[in-house]
Structure 1
Amino acid sequence: MPSTLVHVAVGGLVGAALLGRWFDTRSIAVVLVAAAVPDLDSFTSTLLPGSHRALLHTLFFPLLLGALLLYDTRIRRDSLVRTRWGSRGVVVAWVALAALLGGGIFPDLFTNGVNAFYPLHDAFYAVNGKAELSSTRGFVQTFVEFNSDVSPATTENFHYSTAVDPSPGTEPENVERIAPLASSGLELMLVILGGGVVGGRLLAERRRADGK
Structure 2
Amino acid sequence: MPSTLVHVALGGLVGCALLGAAFSPRAIAVVLVAVAAVDLDTFLGWVVLGAHRSAFHTVLLPLVLGAVVAWDAWGREESFLRARVGETAPRVAGVSVVAVAFAGIGPDLVTNGVNVLWPVHDQFYEVTGKTYLSDRKGFVQTFVDLGNEEPVQDANLGSSRERQYYTGADRDPGQSGEPVVEERVFPLANSGTQLLLVATGALVVASRVVEDVRERRA
> Do Structure 1 and Structure 2 share a fold, with TM-score over 0.5?
yes
- In 2, the alpha carbon distance for the partners of 1:5 and 1:34 equals 13
Could you say which residue in structure 1 is the equivalent of 2:173?
Answer: 167
Could you say which residue in structure 1 is the equivalent of 2:142?
Answer: 142
AA partner of residue 104 (structure 1): G
2:116 match: secondary structure = coil
Could you say which residue in structure 2 is the equivalent of 1:155?
Answer: 160
Could you say which residue in structure 2 is the equivalent of 1:198?
Answer: 205
Mark the runs of 5 or more structure 2 residues left unpaired by the alignment: 147-151
- In 2, the alpha carbon distance for the partners of 1:208 and 1:71 equals 33
TM-score, length-normalised on structure 2? 0.89
CA distances 1:58-113 after superposition (whole Å, capped 9, x unpaired): 00011111111122221123321111123211111111111111110111112221
Structure-2 change in CA distance of 1:28 and 1:148 (3 Å) = closer
Of 56-65 and 74-83, more deviation after overlay is shown by: 74-83
AA partner of residue 134 (structure 2): S
Q: Do the aligned partners of 2:129 and 2:153 also contact (CA within 8 Å) in 1?
A: no
Could you say which residue in structure 1 is the equivalent of 2:93?
Answer: 93
Q: Do the aligned partners of 2:173 and 2:179 also contact (CA within 8 Å) in 1?
A: no
Give the structure with the higher percent strand.
2
Could you say which residue in structure 2 is the equivalent of 1:71?
Answer: 71
AA partner of residue 187 (structure 2): P
How far residue 174 of structure 1 moved from its aligned partner, in angstroms, is 5.8
Structure-2 change in CA distance of 1:145 and 1:178 (3 Å) = farther
TM-score, length-normalised on structure 1? 0.91
Give the 5 Å matches for 1:100-111: 100-111=100-111
Tell me whether 1:61 sits opposite 2:64 in the alignment. no
Of 142-151 and 193-202, more deviation after overlay is shown by: 142-151
How far residue 181 of structure 1 moved from its aligned partner, in angstroms, is 0.4
Q: Do the aligned partners of 1:159 and 1:167 also contact (CA within 8 Å) in 2?
A: no
Mark the runs of 5 or more structure 1 residues left unpaired by the alignment: none
AA partner of residue 99 (structure 1): A
How far residue 210 of structure 1 moved from its aligned partner, in angstroms, is 2.9
Q: Do the aligned partners of 2:125 and 2:157 also contact (CA within 8 Å) in 1?
A: yes
Q: Do the aligned partners of 1:16 and 1:201 also contact (CA within 8 Å) in 2?
A: yes
